Structure 1
Amino acid sequence: MTVDNAMLERRGPFEGGALFSGAEGLVGLSVSSRMSSPRPHHHRTLVATTTFGEMFATRIRSRHLHAERTPDRLDDPYSGYAQLGFVLSGRMQIEQSGRHGTIEPGAASLLVGSLPFRTRIDDEAESIQLYLPLRLMLAHGYAPEAWAGRSWEITPSASVLREILRSVTSGSHPVPAASASHVGHALREFALAVLHEAADRVHAGYDARAMYRERAQAAIADRFTDPSFGVAALADELRVSPRYLHTLFQGEDLSAGAQLRATRIRHAATLLAGSRTRDLTIAAIARLSGFGGDDQFARAFRRAHGVTPSEYRARHRPATL
């Protein structure tokens, strides 16, 4: 590897980063993508990678650098990640899934590692890529293919995330290993916030609020029988604040808490009227339906149906043969 003294002098915050220069440096850089340069003997790249648990970030300063992730490379570990990218200075061009964009300091972008893509830096540019697991995107309702090659004007959360990444990847004050996973958790939450804020801009017709409501309803259907599962636990599972969870259901027929309560009452009514559950006590049905106590169950059921659970059972008890 040839060391470029001019670039080395400008290393600045890239303490501990690796410096690649010339044609030999291009070979060393060709890990997940094939690197090339229109001026191979003049190309210079400084790279620093920082790991945060399951996530990692790469900070790059380069000039005359072209990258192409070709189909023959798609079976490597990078295929499980998306690159959420920010340009700190200069500009970079990206191309993926038929989409083209020029990324500058006022924009964010996303490249999907499971699909081919190209990037190009002509004049000197500096950028940071946060590698976000694709399974995390999928788990939160974001289809990676719909985001591949997208770029958008930077949002408030993206601006904060960019500055955090700028700090934690500088190398001048490295994140201690003992706290790396905690920092990774924070970066993950900010990355999801970035996707949430950008969803309507990036994908026309995409309704992030509807996606969160669908996930909330799925979580309620899955966990309503747990008496400890309430609105706070639901918000925690969705990784949103209780206040934001409340706003998601504004304008809907039922709030999140009301949907949880209605699901429990509906299940209890089924048990009360069922022929195979005729021997269950009212207390057992309350527990099986996720109510914390008999009195709580009786009050909620009476408000919903106008009768007590015992009266409901008497009215709907199947006839014995």
Structure 2
Amino acid sequence: MIDYTANSADAWEALCVEQFQLCSLDWAAPTFDAGLRASASSAQLSLRLLTSGPFGVSRSARDIRRHDSDDLMVVLHDAGAGGHLEHKGRRSELRPGDAVIIDTTRPYAFDFPQPIQQVVLKVPHELAGRLAPDAGRVFHASDGPLGRVLRTILREFAELDEPIPFGSNQTNQSLEATSLAVAAVDLLSAIYASDSTRNSELLGHAALLKSGQDFVRTRFRDPALTPSLIADYLRVSPRLLAQVFSQAGTTPASYIRDVRLEEAARLLRSTYHRDVPIFDVGLRVGFADATTFTRAFKRVHGVVPSEFRAAAPAVTAV
């Protein structure tokens, strides 16, 4: 257990970047202080208990490009006044007792006009099970067992973080909290999977398509990304995945290719990437070799990448 304090907005921003991921403090109260307690940390996940004065913080698309993150943050807005969250195209109100899952591969913004207290469990995507597709949704007390268990588990972690009595084994307590956190994520995933109402909603074709598209847009730079990996992530059959994408007039493989080519065109137009070799552009967007990249690009744009770069008006996008 480690306690941190911040007596200025700049110190709080630096602490948030250190403990969570690259983000920006958009505003803070003129007289500002905050505290953060770090516990249950491991190579796989971490638990943070924070209290702070009024502030607003955001993680932009530019922040994501500058500093990749593959974590989910399970946030319990435990006490204080309400605030607002913008994430995955939604603007939601956060009231005391609410919990929300944040996907750090997507932009987000928090705004808290009054002092708050929160519990934040940071979990890698690969450990998050079926929680990931529900990122951005606020869980209220009326949302059934998942919302209640989210709040109960996180509050129990807060109880685990009481000061350690003299003579006790701090290492053992930290390991206990970490192992319980892993078990808690497994439990939440199991509750999620067994909730037939939530499953029927999420397994609707529109929701599956959106989740699949979101997954591609966060992983397209990986040359190993395939339709099978999308299906595994969504826990559906490749046949159902193909059916869902076909209703949108495409296929999973075509969508992967189109996203890669969209990003390649953006890089080729960017003045910041003007001197990047064409082959490197292809590698950056997930193509394994220059020949495949050039052929795919020409089929869509009618010209090879070098001709596209020469003819396209330069823009200053990063």
Structure 1 length normalisation: TM-score? 0.51
What are the equivalent positions in structure 2 for 1:74-113 lying under 5 Å apart?
74=64, 79-90=69-80, 91-113=82-104
1:25 is the counterpart of 2:15 = no
Shift of 1:95: 1.4
Residue identity opposite 1:148 in structure 2: A
- Change in Cα spacing, 1:175 to 1:76, as seen in structure 2 (3 Å) is farther
Specify the alignment match of 1:42 in structure 2.
31
1:177 is the counterpart of 2:167 = no
Specify the alignment match of 1:151 in structure 2.
138
Percent identical: 12
What are the equivalent positions in structure 2 for 1:9-20 lying under 5 Å apart?
16-20=2-6
1:186 is the counterpart of 2:173 = no
Shift of 1:127: 0.3
1:206 is the counterpart of 2:202 = yes
Cα distance in 1 for residues equivalent to 2:73 and 2:58:
14
What are the equivalent positions in structure 2 for 1:115-154 lying under 5 Å apart?
115-137=106-128, 140=129, 142=130, 144=132, 146-154=133-141
1:67 is the counterpart of 2:57 = yes
Answer yes or no: is the 8 Å Cα contact 2:40–2:177 preserved in 1.
Answer: no
Answer yes or no: is the 8 Å Cα contact 1:84–1:109 preserved in 2.
Answer: yes
Answer yes or no: is the 8 Å Cα contact 1:66–1:120 preserved in 2.
Answer: yes
Cα distance in 1 for residues equivalent to 2:84 and 2:107:
15
> Is there any run of 5+ residues in structure 2 with no aligned partner, and where?
204-318
Answer yes or no: is the 8 Å Cα contact 1:62–1:121 preserved in 2.
Answer: no
Deviations 1:149-205 (A, max 9, x none): 111124442243122221234455698223534432221222232344356576762
Answer yes or no: is the 8 Å Cα contact 2:3–2:36 preserved in 1.
Answer: yes
- Change in Cα spacing, 1:169 to 1:81, as seen in structure 2 (3 Å) is farther
- Change in Cα spacing, 1:75 to 1:160, as seen in structure 2 (3 Å) is same
Shift of 1:78: 6.8
Cα distance in 2 for residues equivalent to 1:169 and 1:179:
9
Deviations 1:240-289 (A, max 9, x none): xxxxxxxxxxxxxxxxxxxxxxxxxxxxxxxxxxxxxxxxxxxxxxxxxx
Cα distance in 2 for residues equivalent to 1:95 and 1:175:
41
Cα distance in 1 for residues equivalent to 2:163 and 2:64:
30
Decide which of 143, 153, 161 is 2:153's aligned counterpart.
161
Shift of 1:29: 3.2
Cα distance in 1 for residues equivalent to 2:110 and 2:103:
12
Cα distance in 1 for residues equivalent to 2:179 and 2:66:
24
Answer yes or no: is the 8 Å Cα contact 2:127–2:185 preserved in 1.
Answer: no
Specify the alignment match of 1:212 in structure 2.
none
Shift of 1:130: 0.3
Cα distance in 2 for residues equivalent to 1:202 and 1:104:
22
Cα distance in 2 for residues equivalent to 1:202 and 1:129:
23
Residue identity opposite 1:63 in structure 2: G
Answer yes or no: is the 8 Å Cα contact 1:147–1:203 preserved in 2.
Answer: no
Cα distance in 2 for residues equivalent to 1:175 and 1:93:
40
Cα distance in 2 for residues equivalent to 1:131 and 1:175:
24
Answer yes or no: is the 8 Å Cα contact 1:56–1:131 preserved in 2.
Answer: yes
Cα distance in 1 for residues equivalent to 2:125 and 2:63:
17
Answer yes or no: is the 8 Å Cα contact 1:70–1:117 preserved in 2.
Answer: yes
Residue identity opposite 2:91 in structure 1: H
Answer yes or no: is the 8 Å Cα contact 2:49–2:117 preserved in 1.
Answer: yes
Cα distance in 1 for residues equivalent to 2:200 and 2:113:
31
Specify the alignment match of 1:114 in structure 2.
105
Shift of 1:77: 7.1
Answer yes or no: is the 8 Å Cα contact 1:58–1:169 preserved in 2.
Answer: no
1:57 is the counterpart of 2:47 = yes
